[in-house]
Amino acid sequence: MTQWPWYSAANRVENGAMALVYPFDHRHGRPPRELKALLGGKGADLAEMTSVLKLPVPPGFTITTEACRSYLTTGWPEGLDDEIAAHVSRLEATMGRRLGDAADPLLVSVRSGAPFSMPGMMDTVLNLGLNDEAVEGLAKQTSDERFAYDSYRRFIALFGRIVLDAGGPEFDDLFDAAKSLAAVTSDDAVPAELLRYLVRRYQQLTGEPFPQDPRMQLRRAIEAVFRSWDGPRAVAYRTREHIAHDSATAVNVQAMVFGNRDDDSGTGVGFTRDPATGAKGSYGDFLVNAQGEDVVAGIRKTLPLSALKDRFPKVYEELHDIFSRLERHYRDMLDTEFTIEQGKLWMLQTRVGKRTGRAALRMAVDMTAESDIQLSRTEAVLRVRPEHVDRVLHPELAAGDRVVVATGLGASPGAGVGQVYFTSDDVVAAVGRGESAVLVRTETSPDDVEGMQVSAAVVTTRGGLVSHAAVVARAWGIPVVVGVSDLEIGPDWFEIDGTTVRQGDWISVDGTTGEIMAGRLELTAPEPPAELARICEWADDVRRGRLGVRANADSGHDAALARENGAEGVGLCRTEHMFLGDRLPLVQRMILAETPEEETSALADLLELQRSDFEEIFTAMDSLPVTVRLLDPPLHEFLPDIEDLIARDAVGSLSDVDQGLFTAARSWQEQNPMLGTRGVRLAILRPALYKTQVRAVIEAAGRRVEAGGHPMVEVMVPLIVTRAELALVRRWIEEEIDAVQVRIGSSIDVRIGTMIETPRAAVRGDDIAEVADFFSFGTNDLTQLVFGFSRDDVEGRLMTRYLEEGLLPRNPFETIDHRGVGELVQLCVERARRIRPDIKLGVCGEHGGDPESIAFFARVGIDYVSCSPYRVPVARLAAAHAILALDAEQSG
Ligand code: PEP
Ligand code: MG
């Protein structure tokens, strides 16, 4: 690198401090693209293109994220002015032009560039360096007054909006008025004298005399970009995308090149492959005689990249050559921005391109077979993100403008479109008439499952990610938005922020983003491409024997679907889910039975039904383990609705049977049902319940053995707190197993274990392991009990606020709370393995399908995760990523 005396004098490196500014051609001693944390994504890739690939990039320099961080904490960094001045001088020398020169001015762009892509969230200023004198110089130098004044007008508008916080829509209004006055429709037809006039008018809008000193313009623009890191848009985006708020942005100052010089100029964006489909071959568009913002703004109609061939044949060839070099170098698909200035091509930006799920899968597989890229299978697995897989598995709303009327928690991914109904019965009736229906309720209960099952989507005003609606809908692959707390529901309407939606009106629900739109948006069908199976198989090769993936399935149908999706067993069969819908009265009869006869009769019916259910599941999962959880009905979800009974009682419409239910329901009513007579506690009061269920399980397994099958049974006890509880229930289970085995004359492979859902059980994992063959962490309840946050209530209002205020880094019901719940899991794993090294350890809470949580579970030595059948492919990929990350950590 040329050493410029004033540059080295200002270079802080010589004084032992880190430089705050690096030119694009700086030799970093390692590939600059690895320095994104310091140079930001844009800066790192500009440096890579300049210093490694030697591509035609307009020269410039990057002010580091460190400088921004320092500005945001303690103000403008000491020494930064000197470093910038030195780099500006060097840039002037390279370009042979000076900032603000009245004869031939250097103009620069000032762009943000964070380490993680934050598209459109922060600010850019173009054409910086123009002032009332320099604009004349530019006009003379280019012999194009119109071009010079148009550049100045654009600069004032950007500087006004971004740096001076002035103008806004008035700039556009004035420009539109000028176009009408000149009776032209295209921007580049506005004559020079009108542009001169606009420049004066724009300057009056900026609220202060427009700064004429280019160095001051530069400092203020840099400061504005620094500040935009903390702008509300950027903060909201980072919160949503879980990007660290202290990573800060770099700022890139780059010599301007002009795509709007003349008709021999232009600007465009290009992808090295199609980012929508992954197909090989370049893709993109461009505009003749335009600046970058014109392409992005979408006002002028762009031409496809292929049209470059006719218009700029030499540039077309050069660009293609650059695309191939970029792909070979990065071994990935790139997206680029380029400008043609009077026939010369300049690369303004490149980065690894964003892509759809389909494209990600296709490109990853294709690139393993391409000789100049030679991606390994492991690399291909890492190229695909869990969200890519998620997207190809569910219908989505087609791209287009969304008018969002309400937002809640996206609790079950995919999108659904339908007419609104407010009761499960109305939904069932509407679907019976051939309509598509969306169920909107305050919250859902087992009473609603028939409606839920046939809904295109479900929306609730209460509830969270692990509340009833979310858990059930996720298992069935139905899109759900929960916790839309500002939505008010009337008898046949709902209202939010002044918008009223009536029964029968169409709405569109995005269960991935949590957005609800009025009207009927178009849906795209889920399209798992052929490459999905390949990637999942390669992922299995990585994780096999180290981290298993099972499914939470409650029926033969779901178990079969789970197996098709690659599940290696059932990690949780919630037997109470077998009693939703029209079977609900059976469980109610059993819970509310007042005499032994009533109980025996209810249990006999229960035995019958469960036996055939289990048989179906064992058939679907033959030779794979099936964990059957004994009944765990939180009573509030399974008792008749007391308020409804009170209302009906008041008008005398209760039958004798209802009266009986009412009395019994009142006696079982609890203040805190989630902490009440659930799980093993109900069984302690009603021992016949678990015994009957075990009988049903073992008899079903016996039938499968008789039919030549290989059932692998795991019986699991929920909500254990002490060793004594499990020891007692284990004895009952063993007695039942023995009795059934004697009766059927064959032995069945059965293990007995427990869920770890209470903090005490986690802490006493050692004691409990003495009487358990396996543990499965029920992280939904464990999170609820560790935080003391009601899993049904906390997410609507409170959690949102906690997340916005930064009181919690993540929603702990979505991603395992490493430092609290996670540490308890880890402690339990260690203690349990000390007592029983071969104890099998799984996770069946909703965290079992969350990629970040899966990474945590892999680290603490969990054997398998279990999630919704629809999520199994995502979990297979995430589990492979987790194992690869672990290996990389251990070897590095
Ligand atoms: C849990 O608590 O994590 C669990 C899987 O059980 P459920 O959600 O059925 O309470
Ligand atoms: Mg639980």
Please, where are the H alpha helices in 621-722?
635-638, 642-650, 656-668, 679-685, 687-706
As for ligand 1, residues whose beta carbon falls within 6 Å of it are: 466, 471, 572, 574, 632, 757, 778-781, 844-845
| pLDDT one-digit tens code per residue, 270-303 | 999 998 889 999 988 899 988 876 665 555 677 8
For residues 292 and 339, the answer to whether their CB atoms sit within 8 Å is yes
Question: Which mutation among 577, 781, 857 tests ligand 1's pocket best, with the greatest number of atoms within 8 A of CB?
Answer: 781
Q: Which residue has its alpha carbon closest to ligand 1 atom 6?
A: 778
Ligand with minimal distance to 633 CA: 1
Ligand 1 atom at shortest distance from the alpha carbon of 777 = 3
Dist. CA 849 → ligand 1 center (Å): 13
Lowest mean pLDDT among 567-571, 642-646, 854-858: 642-646
Cα 271 to Cα 280, 283, 324, 333, 560, distances in angstroms: 10, 5, 11, 7, 40
Backbone angles phi, psi at 381, to 5 degrees: -60, -40
Q: Which residue has its alpha carbon closest to ligand 1 atom 9?
A: 574
Predicted confidence at residue 297, as pLDDT, reads: 56
Token output for 285: 């568009």
Active site includes 468?
yes
Ligand with minimal distance to 634 CA: 1
Q: Which residue has its alpha carbon closest to ligand 1 atom 3?
A: 778
Over residues 226-248, the mean pLDDT reads: 84
Catalytic residue among 68, 536, 573, 844: 844
Dist. CA 781 → ligand 2 center (Å): 5
Over residues 256-269, the mean pLDDT reads: 91
Ligand 1 atom at shortest distance from the alpha carbon of 471 = 8
Please, where are the H alpha helices in 242-396?
292-297, 308-311, 313-330, 357-368, 377-383, 386-393
Confidence of residue 11 (pLDDT cuts 50, 70, 90): very low
Ligand 1 atom at shortest distance from the alpha carbon of 572 = 5
Which range is most confident: 445-449, 482-486, 518-522?
Answer: 518-522
Residue 818 vs residue 243, higher pLDDT = 818
Give me the half-sphere count of Cα atoms (radius 13 Å) on the Cβ side of residue 426. 15
| pLDDT one-digit tens code per residue, 693-729 | 999 999 999 999 999 999 999 999 999 999 999 999 9
Residue 13 pLDDT > 50, yes or no? no
Catalytic residue among 26, 87, 388, 468: 468
Ligand 1 atom at shortest distance from the alpha carbon of 574 = 9
Ligand 1 atom at shortest distance from the alpha carbon of 576 = 9
Cα 413 to Cα 391, 515, 524, 526, distances in angstroms: 8, 11, 14, 12
Residues with CB under 5 A from ligand 2 (ion): 757, 778, 781
Which single residue is written with the structure tokens 């724009």?
202
Longest dimension (CA), the chain: 103
Active site includes 394?
no
Dist. CA 757 → ligand 1 center (Å): 8
